[in-house]
Amino acid sequence: MPQIEVSALTKTFRVPEREGGLWASVRSVVRRKYKEVRAVEQVSFTVEKGEIVGFLGPNGAGKTTTLKMMSGLLHPTSGACSVMGHFPWRRESTYLRRISMLMGQRSQLSWDLPAMDSFLVHAAVYDLPKRAFQETLDELVTLLDIRDILKKQVRTLSLGERMKCEICVSLLHRPDVLFLDEPTIGVDITMQARIRDFIADYNRRYGATLILTSHYMADVTALCKRIIVIDHGRILFDGLLGDLSARLAPFKVIKIDLDHEADGYDFAALGDVLQRQERKIMLRVPKKSAPAVTDRLLRDLSVLDLTIEDPPIEDVISLAFGRKADEPQPAGVSK
């Protein structure tokens, strides 16, 4: 039985809107106009225990709204969601004790106190036995390498240090389901990698289920086998990361290194020229025609080196999001 079941989940926000300018402003006092914005529309998926699922999508796609509904912060407009047998928006304490939500842009720590004080409050709120709390704390402090900063006021910590403390406080009660909303936002590349390693390790150790949203593709590719691509509140793709390009962007990228320049050669007739620098050419061609194009390049030109690759995941995602909302969705896309 899946640990998370989401069915036709929809969230509509009613937001005021008006034209710009003073007159419109005055008019809006008397007659306010509202617009219904569908942040999430008929989203359905299931997640098994221990899975790490990445939510991908541009700003305003509906990723965070979906996460907030799953964590119980938001009530859905319609649809159903069950997490470990609980309806999140009932906000039962038995449910809240088993989950954690780490929001990269929101702090759970008291800024004016050392992080340790927030950890102690957390232990009390989650009613952690003293011994279990101390053991988990020691383990997390060691893994995250934060022993030296526990006594420092949170507002004096660097962003990376603070994020590590945020992760620590989120995991002190060993949640079974962890919602991570942009967990590496703003931190440097080295720290991003360390946070990713730590999250993967937590998943392995405790079999926790992780739902992750991130703008950093590296977070997703390093942590998630399965991804859900969401845009305009709808799911565009739900499947293995490896299948993403095949479904959303069935292209190959052919890179060639020539012996000498081929000035008059019409590369555009073979595919999209992504890059052309003297003797180095990069072409994007439909997957089906990749063998024929390769054959022709090898016959027509003096090639020193040739590689055929899947397009970078970033390109696949931008191709998918570049598709207009009213365009038909690719085959195999769940609705």
Partner 1 sequence: MRVIVRSFAAFLRAAVGTMLQYRGEIILWAIWGLINPAVLYAIWSAAAESNVDQTLAGFSRGQFAAYYFCIMIIGHFTTAWDAYELGYLIRSGSLSSQLLRPILPIWSALAANMAYKITTLAFVGPMWALFFWIVRPTFDAAPWQIVLGIVATMLAGLLNFLLGYVVALVSFWSPKLDAVGEAYFGIGMVFGGRFAPLAALPGILYQAAYILPFRWMYAFPAELMMGKIKTPAEALSGLTIQLVWLLGIVFVFRFGWKAAVRHYSAVSG
* Residues at the site binding partner 1, with contacts judged by CB under 8 A: 11, 13-14, 64, 68, 71-75, 89, 91, 93-94, 96-97, 99-101, 103, 105-108, 110, 112-113, 117-118, 120-121, 123-127, 153
Q: Which is nearer to partner 1, 68 or 252 (CB)?
A: 68
Q: Quick one: 89 or 206, whose CB is closer to partner 1?
A: 89
- When the beta carbons of 6 and 101 are compared against partner 1, the nearer one is 101
β pairing state of 177-181 and 209-213:
parallel
Measured between alpha carbons, how far is residue 331 from residues 12, 236, 246, 290, 310 in Å?
A: 27, 10, 10, 21, 19
In angstroms, what is the C-alpha Rg of the chain?
24
Q: How far is the CB of 204 from partner 1 (least distance, A)?
A: 25
**Among residues 73, 78, 100, 101, which one has the least CA distance to residue 89?**
73
CB of 148 to partner 1, least distance (A): 20
Name which of 173 and 252 has its Cβ closer to partner 1.
173
Q: How far apart are CA 54 and CA 180, in angstroms?
A: 9
To the nearest whole angstrom, how small is the minimum distance from the Cβ of residue 13 to partner 1?
6
In the complex, minimum distance from the CB of residue 20 to partner 1, in angstroms, rounded to a whole number: 20
Find, among 44, 64, 41, the residue nearest to 4 by Cα: 44
Beta strands across the sheet bearing 177-181: 99-103, 177-181, 209-213, 52-56, 226-231, 234-240
Hey, what are 239's tokens?
Answer: 């499947």
Q: Which two tokens stand for residue 189?
A: 């590349």
For partner 1, give the closer residue by CB, 113 or 185: 113
Residue type, 145: D
Shortest Å distance, C-beta 139 to partner 1: 21
Distances in Å between the Cα of 153 and the Cα atoms of 104, 116, 134, 164, 270 are 19, 9, 21, 14, 60
Pick between residue 169 and residue 293 the one whose CB is nearest to partner 1: 169
Q: Minimum distance between the CB of residue 69 and partner 1, rounded to whole angstroms?
A: 8
18 or 260: CB nearest partner 1:
18
Listed residue (248, 164, 202) closest to 50, CA to CA: 202
Report in angstroms how near the CB of residue 88 gets to partner 1 at its nearest: 10
